[in-house]
Structure 1
Amino acid sequence: MVELLDETTDTCVVVRFGGKVTGDEYKVFLDAIDDRLKESEKVDMVAELTEFTFYGDLEAFKEDAHFGTHEYRKVGRAAFVGDSKWIKVFIELSRPFYKAEEKQFASGALDEAVAWACQGS
């Protein structure tokens, strides 16, 4: 499941990922990012990952890999909400490759994550 949340603005995508995400579901997120990049060179994002388990199909994995090698380079701030250790590992491993400011927030801290990532949006 992928759900765009009401906190989404013209320059900041706030999305909740839950369960096993399919390629079609992931495209909801990508379309929101792409729509904002038509109007701006940068986009900020918040990904609420508390209920996310993994990709539901190969298409979702491919879409995420493409996002990571293309659109993610245009992310200014990225907040990840969830307590999973893999989030921290992802942030540490990606730091040398991306210019995005990345920060992990505890489960339940969505408002704090939105305030940090979407400031000025």
Structure 2
Amino acid sequence: MILYHTDPDSPVIEISVEGKLTDRELREAIERMRGDLELHGKTRVLERIEHFSGIEPKALWTDLTLGVSVARKVTRAAVVADAGWIRAAMHLARFFTKAEIKAFHLNELEQARAWISA
């Protein structure tokens, strides 16, 4: 499940991911992000990931083919996750974006919000 939240007056996008990520949900989130990028130009993303149980193979392909071009327009990304391997994997994201990326544990959500907004 993906929950997508924006404030019309802010370039910050908050995305919450729980459970298994589907292709349909990912495509919808990417399209919303494209719209926000058109509205605000470069943007910042806070992604909270909890109880992640996988990604549909088709969604993985969608992320590589559509998501990477969108990720290149992000200036700063905070990833808040309950799994250490997800936070560690953020080092790989640097190959797909020039954004400043920082990983946080779930109990650091407010610190991540402050960092992404700074």
Coarse TM-score class (shorter-chain normalised):
0.7 to 0.9
1:16 is aligned to 16
1:109 is aligned to 108
Q: State how far apart, in whole Å, the 2-side matches of 1:99 and 1:78 are.
A: 10
Q: What is the TM-score when the length of structure 1 is the normalising length?
A: 0.81
Q: What is the TM-score when the length of structure 2 is the normalising length?
A: 0.83
What is the RMSD of the two structures over their aligned residues, measured on CA atoms? 1.9
Q: State how far apart, in whole Å, the 1-side matches of 2:66 and 2:109 are.
A: 22
Q: Is the 8 A contact 1:42 1:75 kept in 2?
A: yes
4+ residue runs over 6 A deviation? none
Relative to its length, the structure with more strand (as a share) is: 2
Matched, 1:30 2:45: no
5+ residue gaps, structure 2: none
The 5 A counterparts of 1:1-121 are: 1-5=1-5, 8-9=6-7, 10-55=10-55, 57-119=56-118
CA positional deviation for 1:54 = 1.3
Q: Is the 8 A contact 2:80 2:87 kept in 1?
A: no
Q: Is the 8 A contact 1:33 1:43 kept in 2?
A: no
Q: 1:115 to 1:64 in 2, by over 3 A?
A: same
Q: State how far apart, in whole Å, the 2-side matches of 1:97 and 1:29 are.
A: 18
Which digits, 9 at most, give the CA deviation of each residue in 1:44-69, with x for residues without a partner?
101111222211x2221122112443
Q: Secondary structure at the match of 2:72?
A: helix
5+ residue gaps, structure 1: none
Q: 1:118 to 1:61 in 2, by over 3 A?
A: same
Q: Is the 8 A contact 1:45 1:118 kept in 2?
A: no
Tell me the matched-pair count.
116
